[in-house]
Amino acid sequence: MTNLLWLQGGACSGNTMSFLNAEEPSVCDLVTDFGINVLWHPSLGMELGDNLQKMLRTLVSGKLSLDVFVFEGTVIRAPDGTGEWNRFAGRPMKDWVQELAQVANYTVAIGDCASWGGIPATAPNPTESVGLQFLKRDHGGFLGKNYRSKADLPVINVPGCPAHPDWITQIIVAIATGRGAELSLDDLQRPKTFFSSFTQTGCTRNMHFAYKVSATEFGQRKGCLFYDLGCRGPMTHSPCNRILWNRQSSKTRAGMPCLGCTEPEFPFFDLAPGTVFKTQTLMGIPNALPAGIDRKGYIKLMATAKATAPRWAEDDIFVV
C-alpha cells in the first residue's frame, strides 16, 4: 500500500480536473490495481476540520508513512499576512508544505504553479508565489535548492497548464511499483521519459514547418503555426503530440499554437497584449528559434526551404 497525499495551494484546480480525467491508468486503477491509498485530495478527500488536521499531524510526526506528497498550485508566502486566506486545516498552507515535504518519501509538483510559480508568480507577484523548488528558471523556490526527499530525490516536477493526466498517474505508478528512485530527471527536475522531446515531435504540421509554409488564422488545417501565430512547439519540451489529449488530439492538431506551458518562463511576455498569439520577429526572423540552431544557420535554412517547397505543401491535406 502506497500512501498518497495531494494538497492544493494557490491554484485554479486545473490539474485536479486533469487528474480526475486520467485514462492510462485511471484514478480508479491507481486504487484497485496499484494499491494507492489516497489519504486526502481536494476533490476526493473525506476528512474535514479537526479530523483532517489530526491526520496531517500524524503524517508530520512520522506515525503514518507519507509515501507520495503531491502538491498542486503555488506556495503563497505573501508578506504582512496578506496571504492568510491561503489557510488549510487551521494554519497557513506553506507551513504544512514545509513540514510534510520533510517526511515525504517522494515529493511531486503537479502543474506549472507548483513547479515554478506559473501565472501567479508573474510580475509583480504580490502574493510572493513560488514553486516548490523553482521560481521560474531560478533554482531554490520554497523548499530550497538543496531539498531532497527521504528517497534522496529533489522535487519531481510534472509541469503543464494543466499537466496531462497520464503524465501524472504514470509517475505515481512508477513510484508505487518501486521504480521511483530510478526516475531520470532533466536539469529542471522533469521526468525525461516525458520531457526529452519537443511538442513539435509528432506534430502533423511538420512538413509545413520544414518548407516554411505558414498558417495565418486559428483552425487552419494547413500551414505551420510557428511563423506567424506564436507557436512555441519547436522550443517546448513536452509529449503533447505523442501522448494525445483525450486520446484524440492536441493544440497544434486542432490549429491552436502551443503556448509553451511546460517551460519555466510560461506565461511568456507576462501575457502582454499583442504578444501571445503573434510570433515576435526581427527583420522577419523569429526572435525565439527552434532548439539547436543559431540565427545564421536558420536564415540559410529558411531560404533553402522556401526555394524548394513543393506545390503540395500549400494544399489542404484534409480535403474530402
What residue ranges define each of the domains in the chain, with the CATH number in brackets? 2-193 (3.40.50.700), 197-314 (4.10.480.10)
Query: Residues 101-104: contacts with CB within 8 Å, 24+ apart?
Result: 101/69, 101/132, 101/143, 101/147, 101/149, 103/59, 103/60, 103/62, 103/66, 103/150, 104/66, 104/67, 104/68, 104/69, 104/149, 104/150
pLDDT, position 304: 76
Residues 143-196 have pLDDT tens digits of 999 999 999 999 999 999 999 999 999 999 999 999 998 999 999 999 999 999
Residue 111, C-alpha cell as written in the block: 502543474
Residue 311: left (phi > 0), alpha (psi -120 to 50), or beta?
alpha
What pLDDT is recorded for position 220? 87
pTM: 0.91
Say what the pLDDT of residue 87 is.
Answer: 77
What is the predicted pLDDT for the residue at 237? 97
Per-residue pLDDT tens over the stretch 102-114:
999 999 999 999 9
What is the grid cell recorded at 69?
A: 506528497
Residue stretches of the chain with pLDDT short of 70? 80-85, 312-314, 316-320
Q: What is the pLDDT of residue 104?
A: 98
Q: What pLDDT does residue 281 have?
A: 79
Q: Which residues of 175-202 are buried (b: 16+ CB within 10 A; e: fewer)?
A: bbeeebeebebeebbbbeebbebbbbbb
Please give the angle made by the CA atoms of 87, 158 and 155, to the nearest 5 degrees: 70
Position 18 scores a pLDDT of: 97
Q: How far apart are CA 145 and CA 143, in angstroms?
A: 7
Q: Which pLDDT value is given to residue 277?
A: 84
Confirm if 142 and 75 have CB atoms less than 8 A apart. Answer: yes
